[in-house]
Amino acid sequence: MVSFALALAVFGSASAVFSASTPTDPVRLRDLVKRGGTVTGPVLPLNFPDPALILPNGQAPWYVYSTSSSHGKVPYATSHDFKTWTGVKGDALPNPGSWVSPLNPAVWAPDVRQITSTGYVMYYTAFSAANGNHCIGAATSSTPAGPFKPQADPIVCDASGGGIIDASGFEAPGGALYLLWKVDGNSKGKSTPIFIQPLGANGYTLQGKATQLITNDPVDGGIVEAQSLVYWDGFYYLFFSSNHYNTLKYDISYAISKSVTGPYTKVQAHTRHCSFQANAGPRDRKGPPSSTCWVDKYVNAVFHNDINGKNVSAGRSMWQITGLTLSNGIASVNC
């Protein structure tokens, strides 16, 4: 399960037109480094998969969080200028909770959201001790560094669909809070829909009903996952990864809507825009996994690439994008 940390310190938003046909070779994010673009990396040259980004109170330092590794359950690093990053500074979730299976206590694809000036919620995926399926948990802290304290039970599960993964939070205009997730249907040969559901003011109590936003189409290579929702200037941008994460086809696409609950239209942007809807790595590198965002006028984003340029076996290092532009439904990397 990968995570393109579209830790979009999103300072922007976009829209587009979906094409059911396979696109021509896109401009690949890492290739933009050679063209003088705004993609740089690796900025964390260590195993730091599925990075999630947050800018607490809108002021530096930035924080990034990763999937479990030898560095901890949820390792985190910081940066004061979004150029130079510290090494791993600590473990933000040393205890993922009693509901997590002791046979496999790893945590995947964390996402951290600031709910109040001193209140933070972390969403994360782990195996449930009760049924062995992936579920989503929530943990809270008064600081972005944690340690986050987990809730006693997972906040959402779906055993019939294959479990659920890749939780991400979203705050809509006006302050309404939402949780998004992917049904891990590909684990059972099923579809992989992405859902959204309202949250209470505490940032982790589900309310109302879940709404499906998108699901996988043939052009997606059988999978959509690792979603990150961003709002800017009238458009909701749903970034997501498609194709299998352990292949060089793994990429990042997006869909747009004028309503938080859809309907969403998948976007086929043109390469002349140096489109963000492109394979996130060159041919000799795997693209990124999931994503998170932080918004203003432009978007800052983080993602990961395979360290060995072939697959995830050697780990995944963090890269970043500065100045991702969202305009009239089109997301583009400045180049």
- Nearest CA-CA partner of 87 in 150, 134, 43, 140: 43
Q: Is 15 inside a domain boundary?
A: no
Q: Which CATH number characterizes residue 124's domain?
A: 2.115.10.20
CA-based nearest residue to 292, from 49, 51, 62, 87: 51
| Residue 259: other Cβ atoms inside 10 A | 9
- Residues β-bridged to residue 196: 180, 211
Phi, psi of 319 (to 5 degrees): -115, 175
Phi, psi of 312 (to 5 degrees): -85, 0
Task: Supply 203's token pair.
Answer: 């940032």
Active site residues: 50, 225
Q: How many domains does the chain have?
A: 1
- DSSP string of 246-315, one letter each residue: TSTT-EEEEEEESSTT---EE----GGGTBSSB-SS-TTS-------B--SSEEEEEEEEESSSS-GGG-
Give the global pTM: 0.85
Element (H, E) at 237: strand 235-242
1 in any annotated domain? no
Asked if residues 223 and 186 have their Cβ atoms less than 8 Å apart, the reply is yes
**Per-residue pLDDT of the chain in tens (335 residues, 90 and over written 9):** 333 444 333 322 222 222 222 333 444 455 555 445 577 889 999 999 999 999 999 889 999 999 999 999 999 999 999 999 999 999 999 999 999 999 999 999 999 999 999 999 999 999 999 989 999 999 999 999 999 999 999 999 988 888 999 999 999 999 999 999 999 988 888 999 999 999 999 999 999 999 999 999 988 888 999 998 988 889 998 988 888 887 777 878 889 999 999 999 998 533 333 333 322 222 222 333 333 334 444 578 888 888 887 778 888 899 888 877 788 888 776 65
Q: Structure tokens of 177?
A: 């809070």
Residues 82, 9: Cα–Cα separation, whole Å = 10
Nearest to 44 by CA among 100, 91, 87: 87
Position 21 in a domain: no
Q: How far apart are the first and last CA of the chain?
A: 29
- Among positive and negative, which fits the CA dihedral 291, 294, 297, 302? negative
Using CB atoms within 10 Å of the CB of residue 21, give its burial: 0 to 12 exposed, 13 to 18 middle, 19+ buried: exposed
Peptide bond into 61 cis (omega under 30): yes
- Domain enclosing residue 138, as ranges: 31-333
Residue 8 lies in a domain: no
- How many residues are there in the chain? 335
